[in-house]
Structure 1
Amino acid sequence: MLKIMLNKSLVAGLLLLPAATVFGQKKDIPTPQWRPRYHFTPEKNWMNDPSGLFYLNGEYHLYYQHNPLENVWGHMSWGHAVSRDLIGWKHLQVAIPEIETKDTTTWIFSGSAVIDKNNTSGFGTKKDPAIVAIFTANQPKQKKESQYIAYSNDGGLSYTQYQGNPVIDINKKDFRDPAVFWHDDTKQWVMTVAMVDEHQVRIYGSKDLKKWDVLSDFGPAGYTRYGWECPSLLPINVEGGSKVKWVMLVSSGSERGPLMQYFIGDFDGISFKDDNEGKKVRVLNYGDAYYAAIEWRDAPQNKKILLGWLQNGARETFPWKGQMSIPHDLSLKAIEDGLVLIQSPSSVVAKVLSGYALEKSLLEKNLVINDTRINLNKERPFTGNSYWLEAEFNLGDAKKVGFNLVENPDVTKNVMVGYDAVNQRLYIDGSTGEVNNKSRRNQMLLAPMKPINGVIKLQVLVDNSSLEVFGNGGEKVISTMIYPDANATNLSVFAEGKGVLKYLKIWDFKQGK
């Protein structure tokens, strides 16, 4: 759950922007040009962290931090939506509203939801199990955070607060974001929760979701300059075999805004041990917007599907604020540097693309690009800024290759997505198109990445106000927010030096399905 320590980081970045950009914006002006078409947004009002992801009866359930009253942070409650394909969403009523009593305000901060199949809690039956939500109760008047549970007997539409709340209370101000799963080997529920200022993840165990015992602590480890939030611990298969390793995800602030790191190791039902003994910082996403990601653990075919919140940054959108990333399929892959977490746009989304968009295959393959740019708009069925492209470059002797996105008609402003072969880096360059929207520090976003046999692969997801780039099949990911002008819809491909565009495919999204 995003709180003050990350806001400080964001404010520090905003102070580097021109004053008129930050302080001269008008609020409550509709911005339909920036509403994404295939990334999730609420119908209206503020949204931040995803919470309580579960899959039931063919539907993916998404709860999210939501202010149902205003388009700013506050009145924290759990919004709710469901989808069968992770693109088309049905908006539902607020599932867990804030609790207001005479003496206390309780905001419903981030957490998780589980299907209690064995009725360990007694809130349902084995035939008709309850869905149990586990979340942080933030009580600002008492300056305290504790862990609450609530249960649903109507498929997650509404919840009843447990009369024995809180189920965990250690009388701390910053103690939040429980993620709960069933650990079959030890026949217990396991919770990870953030000890924010200590840079630790506390691990609890429970037989019934009501009584929790401390099992162990993980951390401090990795990056510790800012407080830790939104921990999650999950088993992931290593590609090419049956080996399973455990991955710990942690969110925090950084000098450039939000940051997520991950640790790879083993979990024995009591403690998590990092393979690198906490000495290595592994970055999950190299952008300046991705935060608080958690996963669907129970998706079909045992998929682990990660979903993160993309922060708006300096610009206002209306009547909504905040969007989710594209869902990412997770796997582990062994490379020369060891195991790395692979994130690719979810196959659940990819297999239904043609139903939501007009597919346009560019049949010209092995296009030689010799120190120039080639306009691609004539190849596109639409001219908007909601599209998805996949490309493969043979670097040859090119120093850089890539695409100019959201380019204005006189070709003076754009956002570049490319690969720097000299320095072996994937990058997003917003130094012309986003100069008034980002701090100088964030106008160039970089991720170290090596070519594979002289070839690099890119998946570029442009969705009106978001940009997500996946390099080499998800080995590196950069997510950011962009705010192009209405006429900045050009797309071109470029090379500095001589390179070959081996393959290109574009899906242009229509308005709706």
Structure 2
Amino acid sequence: MKKHIRMWAAAMLTVLTSCTAQQSSSKLISEISTPARPVLHFTPEKNWINDPNGMFFYQGEYHLFYQYNPYGEKWGHMSWGHAVSKDLISWEHLPVALEEEDKVMIFSGSAVVDYQNTSGFGTGNEPPIVAIYTAYDAKSGFQSQSIAYSNDKGRTFKKYNQNPVIDLKKADFRDPKVFWYQADKKWIMTVSLSQEKKVQFYSSKDLKKWDLMSEFGPAGVTAGIWECPDLFQLDYNNESVWVLGVNLGTHSIAGGSGLQYFLGDFDGKAFKVNPSLTKEPLNFIEYGKDFYAAVVWEGTPDQTKERKWLGWMNNWEYADKVPYYGWRGSMSVPRTLRLQKQDGYFYLKQEPVKEIDNYKKKSVEKNAIGIQDANALFSGFIKSDSLSFSTSFVISPSEIHDFLKFNIKGKGSSVINFTYDKAANELVLVRAKSSKNVDSKQYPTIQRVKLDKSDREFEVRIIVDKYSMEVFTHDGKYVFTNLFFAPSNDINVSFEASKKDQKLVFKSIGLYTYL
């Protein structure tokens, strides 16, 4: 979505025009690739991108809409870009789905398949696709909720002629996420009062007339703003838990943008936190700086057991300062989200979707390999001019004296590294200042996670894709997503250890590069 509309509104009013967004022709990412374009991560054909929107699965296709500026490399002229995929990795670009018109921008929202045609928008054999979005009127400064519909599987949309469907005459009322609640046979909308740090829940029988049922909040982190809420249910064995995700524009655990979540119960009208479900009073889905505005795909198979989602891979602290490659911004790798239970408490875990494995170019797996041999393997396997690879290795804390570090260097100095620190019993990720690439004091970062026990083996999976590094540990319980920027022809990847740990032998290690 926007965000921080107050900071940019004055500037935007001088540049908004009445022209509509240009429609880009359908094209596969592989046809427009450049040396800098990631392999496993979604990027737009060109220009600015931020929040994922309107994500649904229908007839074998994953639809991804996203906040998009069709005209430039910075935030503005917000519209919905559109792409589809059969496997969440290879994407087909489609024309702009919802365009800014008459100084009314299209902010974040959701889309649903109206199988029963409750809206009455359906005209043929296919159920209508209904998009629910925040309309920002630059003339009034108000944000309201509007809808649009499609009768061609989401390829084209028509805006409802009686929009808006909810209008509170507020400046910070946004990001509707809608799903079908089968128990009461009604639609549920979760939407944010961002400055009030509240989430409202509305219901509707037809997606047109909405009734307010309840509010949640303030709770958890209440500094900054609340955005892009999402409410969904997950099962673990025979237990069912409702998850309320709330994205934070600022003051996340790693600094800047991030996502907190609450676990509890939903009765069709109100969400209530259940303190007995979770060990920690505050729960963050990510410990990195660059995972934001994540919401789940609706309509995926077995979605009570697992959900698919992704987030915008950026941070509002420096989003308009990251390098421009003909496009600015990308999504995280798509992930599978599950509910897990440990010591009687629930938490969310996330792992890369298994479809990534279909894009492996070459791979090698070794057992009982020492650090020096592992580094030789990296040196001979990874070509810095095409830096798309992943590695998996097992850390046995009982076998480490001091520390083990996975390091990416540029021109001899560390760019980004991930360390298991035995003495502190911590996982630590450090991202150094990125020379001239990102001119922001908030870009350098140190991220830490304190572990429960030091004697438990755990696997580390790291995905590096051109200019990002995503770290998954403890079966997806801890995730660190971070951008990094360094000249690709100067990149060196290696393990480092203390003198006492130079003879450390990995139980196993895997190394994979991608097409």
Instruction: Specify if TM > 0.5.
Output: yes
User: Do the aligned residues in 1 keep the contact of 2:322 with 2:328 (CA within 8 Å)?
Assistant: no
Asked whether 1:343 is paired with 2:350, we answer: yes
CA RMSD of aligned residues (A): 2.5
Partners of 2:47 and 2:436 lie apart in 1 by 27
Tell me which amino acid in the other structure corresponds to 2:196: E
- Separation in 2 of the partners of 1:307 and 1:192? 18
Partner of 1:24: none
Q: SS at the partner of 1:324?
A: coil
- Aligned residue among 436, 439, 442 for 2:441: 439
In structure 1, stretches of 5+ residues that fail to align are 9-29
Distance 2:74 2:453 in 1: 43
Match of 1:166 among 164, 179, 191: 164
Matched to 2:345, the amino acid is G
Counterpart in 2 of 1:388?
A: 390
Shift of 1:381: 5.5
Displacement of 1:307 after TM fit? 1.1
Q: 1:181 touches 1:189 (CA, 8 Å); kept in 2? A: yes
In 2, Cα distance between equivalents of 1:360 and 1:46? 34
The alpha-carbon deviation at position 402 of structure 1 amounts to 3.2
Q: Counterpart amino acid of 2:337?
A: L
1:502 aligns with 2:507: yes
> Secondary structure of 2:509's partner?
strand
8 Å Cα contact 2:336-2:352 kept in structure 1: yes
2:328 partner amino acid:
K
| Alignment map for 1:363-402 (pairs within 5 Å) | 363=366, 365-369=367-371, 374-380=375-381, 382-383=383-384, 384-395=386-397, 396-402=399-405
Q: CA deviation at 1:282?
A: 0.8
TM value normalised by structure 2? 0.87
Tell me if 1:471 matches 2:470: no
- The 3-state SS of whatever aligns with 1:214 is strand
After TM superposition, the score normalised by the length of structure 1 is: 0.87
User: Where does structure 2 lack aligned partners over 5 or more consecutive residues?
Assistant: 9-31
Shift in CA distance, 306/61, structure 1 to aligned 2, threshold 3 Å: same
1:247 matched to which residue of 2?
243
Equivalent residues in 2 for 1:324-335 (5 A)? 324-335=331-342
User: Following the alignment from structure 1 to structure 2, what is the Cα–Cα distance between the partners of residues 195 and 440?
Assistant: 27
CA contact under 8 A between 1:415 and 1:434: conserved in structure 2? no
How many pairs does the alignment contain?
475
Deviation at 1:128, TM superposition (A): 1.9
Whether the 8 Å CA contact 2:130–2:147 is kept in 1: the answer is yes
**Letter matched to residue 244 of structure 1:** S
Asked if 1 retains the 8 angstrom alpha-carbon contact of 2:52 and 2:295, the reply is: yes
Residue 196 of structure 1: CA displacement?
0.8
Q: Deviations over 1:129-170 (max 9, x none)?
A: 100000000011101000000000111011111111110011
Identify the residue that residue 199 of structure 2 maps to in structure 1. 201
Query: Which among 318, 324, 337 is matched to residue 317 of structure 1?
Result: 324
Please tell me whether the aligned partners of residues 44 and 330 of structure 2 are also in contact (alpha carbons under 8 angstroms): yes
Against the structure 1 CA distance between its residues 258 and 339, is the aligned structure 2 distance closer, same or farther, given a 3 Å change threshold?
same
Q: Tell me the distance in 1 between the aligned counterparts of 2:101 and 2:240.
A: 41
> How far off its partner does 1:243 sit?
1.4
Matches within 5 A, 1:137-286: 137-238=135-236, 241-255=237-251, 256-276=255-275, 280-286=281-287
What amino acid sits opposite 2:510 in the alignment?
K
- Hey, what does 2:4 align to over in structure 1? 4
Contact 1:375 1:493 in 2 (8 A): no
Query: Where do residues 4-153 of structure 1 align in structure 2 (5 Å cutoff)?
Result: 4=4, 32-100=34-102, 105-124=103-122, 127-153=125-151
Paired residues of 1:119 and 1:125 also in contact (CA < 8 A) = no
Q: Are the counterparts in 1 of residues 425 and 454 from structure 2 also a CA contact under 8 Å?
A: no
CA contact (8 A) 1:398 1:495 kept: no
Aligned-partner SS, 1:323: coil
Deviation of the 1:480 alpha carbon: 1.1
Partner SS for 2:215: strand
Q: Distance in 1 between matches of 2:406 and 2:376?
A: 10
Asked if the contact 2:144–2:164 (Cα under 8 Å) also holds between the matched residues in 1, the reply is yes
SS of the residue corresponding to residue 297 of structure 1 reads coil
8 Å CA contact retained: 1:199, 1:227: yes
Deviates more, 1:284-293 or 1:250-259: 250-259
Inter-partner Cα distance in structure 2 for 1:440 and 1:290: 15
TM superposition shift of 1:447: 2.6
Q: 1:118 to 1:440 in 2, by over 3 A?
A: closer
Alpha-carbon distance, 1:432 to partner: 6.6
1:397 offset after TM fit, Å?
Answer: 3.2
- Whole-Å Cα distance in 1 between the matches of residues 275 and 435 of structure 2? 37
Higher mean alpha-carbon deviation, 286-295 vs 273-282, is at: 273-282
- Aligned to 1:300, the other structure's residue is in SS state coil
1:403 equivalent in structure 2 = 406
What's the offset of the Cα at 1:362? 3.1
SS in 2 for 1:493: strand
Q: Deviations over 1:357-414 (max 9, x none)?
A: 3232132x223449x9944334416343211111112221332223112x236x3333
Structure 2 match to 1:461: 463
Q: Per-residue deviation at 1:486?
A: 2.6
* Structure 1 pair 301–183 and aligned structure 2 pair: CA distance change class (3 A): same
How far apart are the structure 2 equivalents of 1:242 and 1:127?
37
- Residue type at the aligned position of 1:252: L
| Mapped partners of 1:431, 1:381: distance in 2 | 22
| Alignment deviations for residues 406-431 of structure 1 (CA, whole Å, 9 cap, x no partner) | x236x333321222222232222123
The equivalent of 1:21 in structure 2 is none
**Equivalent-residue separation in structure 1 for 2:123 and 2:509 (angstroms):** 52
Distance 1:106 1:385, change over 3 A: same
Q: Is the 8 A contact 2:227 2:249 kept in 1?
A: no
Change (3 A) 1:381 1:492: closer
